[in-house]
Structure formats: C-alpha cells, structure tokens
Amino acid sequence: MAAMFPEETRRELNELAHTRPELWAKCYPKIYKGIDGGEYYSAKLVGYFLLTAALQLEFPELHLYQHNSETFQAIWASQLAAYRVPIFWLSREITEALKLTTLPVTLNLTTMKLPFEAAVFMLPKGSVVYQSGEGIEGSRRACDQAWI
C-alpha cells in the first residue's frame, strides 16, 4: 500500500477520514479483521480511492489520477458505495488459474449476471506483474489503472 499512497498521503487521508466520519463510513463501510494486510493489501486502500474520488467532486481543482476523468471516478465510486463496497479476496490458486484462462471473445461483461453491479476483487500481493516483471503494487501506474 505504501507504493500506491505515500506515507504522508495515507496520514492525510486517515486524518480526513476522522474529520469526515460520515463520508468515510460510505467509503469504508465494513471493518475487515484478519484479512487486511499480510498476503493482501488493506481494504482501506479501496476506501482511500473512494475518498479521493469524493474529494474530487467537492474540490474539482484536485487532479489525483492522471488517466481517469472525474466523471469516470464518480461513476465507479457511486456504484461501489451504493452496494456498500463489496470486496472479494481471491486466493493465490484462483488468481493463478485466472492467469492461465483465455476469455472467449464473445464474452460481454456488461450483460453477465453477477451478485453485484459493482465490486472489488483483491488479488494476493505480487500476483499481477507487468511484462517487464515489475510488480503492479510497486508501480505508480497502478494508481491510474487500478480501476480500469
């Protein structure tokens, strides 16, 4: 998580979460014990992304993500918040199986029946790498691409 949000930014977001508890409760509605940290990044990371999306609506002069428009961020953030931010942690075995899977070209994710219209899938740390071998968690690009 440190690579995606520098220590100072995390401290500021934590402080903001305490000063705006009603907003933080929408961004991070559940407390996850026993799964945060360790093999996975903390679910607070998702809450921080939602919090920054909300802040950009409130303060349009903020430009925190290089490749995503404020409209795009508002759409995914509102969908996640509407469903109380469902998060699914995928095991390393499932993640490895997915990496070996080729999806059919006819697959239409917009018509697929899923339990929620919006969700976050948390992958084990180090399970996704760029072709260069650089881990996604160590990349600044991850912040810009995490929601695409």
pLDDT at 109: 80
Give the type of residue at 18. H
pLDDT per position as a tens digit, 41-74:
888 888 888 888 888 777 776 666 555 677 777 8
Give 97's pLDDT tier (boundaries 50, 70, 90). very high
pLDDT per position as a tens digit, 104-144:
999 898 888 888 788 888 888 888 877 777 766 554 444 44
Q: Which of 1-10, 54-63, 80-89, 100-109 shows the lowest per-residue confidence on average (mean pLDDT)?
A: 1-10
Backbone angles phi, psi at 37, to 5 degrees: 75, -165
For the cut 60, the answer to whether the pLDDT of residue 145 exceeds it is no
pLDDT at 148: 31
For the cut 60, the answer to whether the pLDDT of residue 77 exceeds it is yes
In the chain, domain spans: 7-145
